[in-house]
Amino acid sequence: MASQSAADPGERRQLLACGLSHKTAPVELREQVAFDPALAAALLAKLREEPGGIEGALVSTCNRVELYVRGPVSARLQERAERLLAQFRPVFLGAHDEGKTFVHEDEEAARHLFRVASGLESAVLGEAQVLGQVKEAHRSALAAETAGAYLDRLFQTAVSTGKRVRAETDLGAGAASIGSAAVELATRIFGRLTDRTVLLLGAGENGLLTARLLAERRVGRILIANRTLEKAARVAEELGGRAVPWEEIPAALALADVVIGSTGAPDPVLDKATIERAASRRSNRPTLFIDIAVPRDIDPAAGRLDSSFLYNIDDLTRVVDQNLAGRAKHIPRAERIVDEELARFRGWEADSEIVPVIQALQRHFEDALVRASERQKRQFTDEEWPRVEVFVRSLIKKILHQPITRLKDPEPNGVPRNLRIEVLRDLFGFGENASTERPHAGAPRVEPGKEEAPEKDSDRHEG
């Protein structure tokens, strides 16, 4: 766990999130700040060496680099977090100076993480991949021993928030990218894809992404044709497919159930006549043509053939736009889930925050009463003294019962609990020299959500 050796349990601790995202910085900057797993592990190892009991976790994706840290308010968390990021990615300093970074504190930092895990902060609203990335950030922080009880609970709640949003809303429903829209169409037309053959023409970005998505769906076979056979072979190796020489496209076309055009050629690669001949060899079984290329790879006239389904990039874009518009309707419900989970987390946090203050308060009173009674110890026999100790502990419980009960109440008489905690810290100096020792064995212990009731008079030993 994160080192707590120099942490003062009486001092208020702060949560902070700092970094940059697609909302604050362009891709050219984000790619310079991105952390691969090895570099992220190195950053967490460095963070673990920091004094002050600072916890930390790093979320790094293609759309964001966000460092979450928690430590004492006096630890200058923002300065230290930004310095740490800049130590590994010097360009971060320039990004900060140019206003391309962000900082969230306490509740807003937790809310931001929950929104990230839910897909509400994603470039593509509701995308699911980010939830796995938040899980990985959590696992990495635990492995690096930089996540204590607080960050562990924070990330657990973030993941459960993301799962709830996906289970209880349609925020992630429908294809939200050109590639996923193409896969959605293929599934709609053919159902299972495990016995289907895909032919990829060229290796453009969208075409390659679509082929990868189809491979993830365990499509039966992938054929890759490219003007450069070596490049086709590299793509085939990645996708677990087979490279096809460019001149053998007509033969491959007769085998293909799904054809993806992504060459970037100036003129169509497949004309209507070529497609008709292939359809005849296929006994006119249906073929889905997905033309993602601009200029187009497939003769538009092919769409008029009975056995052909032809969709170009504009068709797919309309599918995506419709799906995203549908997703947007579910934002209010997703936001309510975030609010609910945040309130639940804040309740846990508040209970956890008051425990060290209550324990410090108990120690303060016990030490004072024990010192006072010790001065009178010689007036009691060895048999009587244990009863005196029991009486002292009972008296402490009685004195502190009402203050502790009111301290646990979120807002008695409209006074926020955090303000009452700060007043206690100030009055008794818990944030300055509060002991880090464990309470005396006889001191009453308080755990989150558990109230220590005073002893009844009948329970108190007389003496």
pLDDT score at 281: 96
Beta carbons of 199 and 225 less than 8 angstroms apart: yes
CA distance 381 to 122: 72
pLDDT score at 364: 81
The residue from 26, 37, 51, 62 that is catalytic is 62
- Residues near 223 by beta carbon (within 8 Å), at least 6 away in sequence: 197, 198, 199, 200, 241, 242, 243, 244, 252, 255, 256
Q: For residue 222, list its beta bridge partners.
A: 198
CATH code of the region 13-173: 3.30.460.30
Q: Does residue 223 have a pLDDT over 90?
A: yes
| pLDDT average, residue stretch 172-188 | 87
Q: How far is CA 169 from the centre of its chain?
A: 18
Which residue, chain included where needed, has tokens 């939200």? 176
Q: Does the annotation count 18 as an active-site position? A: no
Q: Does residue 435 have a pLDDT over 50?
A: no
Q: Is the model more confident about 431 or about 315? A: 315
Q: Does residue 450 have a pLDDT over 90?
A: no
Q: For residue 243, list its beta bridge partners.
A: 224
Q: What is the pLDDT of residues 15-58, one digit of tens each?
A: 999 999 999 999 889 989 999 999 999 999 999 998 888 999 99
Q: Is the model more confident about 40 or about 380? A: 40
pTM, rounded to two decimals: 0.66
Assigned CATH class of 178-323 = alpha beta
CA distance 163 to 114: 11
CA distance 370 to 388: 10
Q: Where are the domains of the chain?
A: 13-173, 178-323, 354-459
CA distance 258 to 274: 15
Average pLDDT, the chain: 85
Task: For the beta carbon of residue 154, count every other beta carbon within 10 angstroms.
Answer: 24
Q: In the structure encoding, which two tokens stand for residue 145, read together?
A: 């021993």
